[in-house]
């Protein structure tokens, strides 16, 4: 936090929002949403990454 960064990874928007509210109440500082995609300079690369979906590959197990 001393450098101005706080990284919070979560999948639930409601949990992240509750954290942001509590952080503001505790420290008086607002957290701004950020994505690693913001660092990419090539818009086509961002589009390709956003267009990918999880694969449906699964590990076969012997039964």
pLDDT tens digits, residue range 48-57? Answer: 888 876 666 6
pLDDT surpasses 90 at 1: no
Q: What is the mean pLDDT of residues 18-40?
A: 87
Q: How far is CA 6 from CA 2, 20, 23, 37, 40, in A?
A: 9, 11, 11, 17, 20
**What value does the CA radius of gyration of the chain take, rounded to a whole number of Å?**
18
Largest CA distance in the chain: 56
Alpha helices in 1-63 (DSSP H): 13-27, 43-51
**Single pTM value for the model:** 0.53
């Amino acid at each position: 936090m001393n450098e101005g960064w706080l990284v919070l990874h979560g999948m639930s928007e409601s949990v992240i929002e509750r954290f942001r509210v509590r952080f503001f109440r505790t420290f008086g500082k607002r957290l701004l949403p950020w994505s690693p995609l913001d660092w990419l300079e090539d818009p086509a690369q961002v589009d390709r990454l956003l267009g990918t979906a999880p694969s449906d590959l699964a590990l076969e197990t012997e039964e």
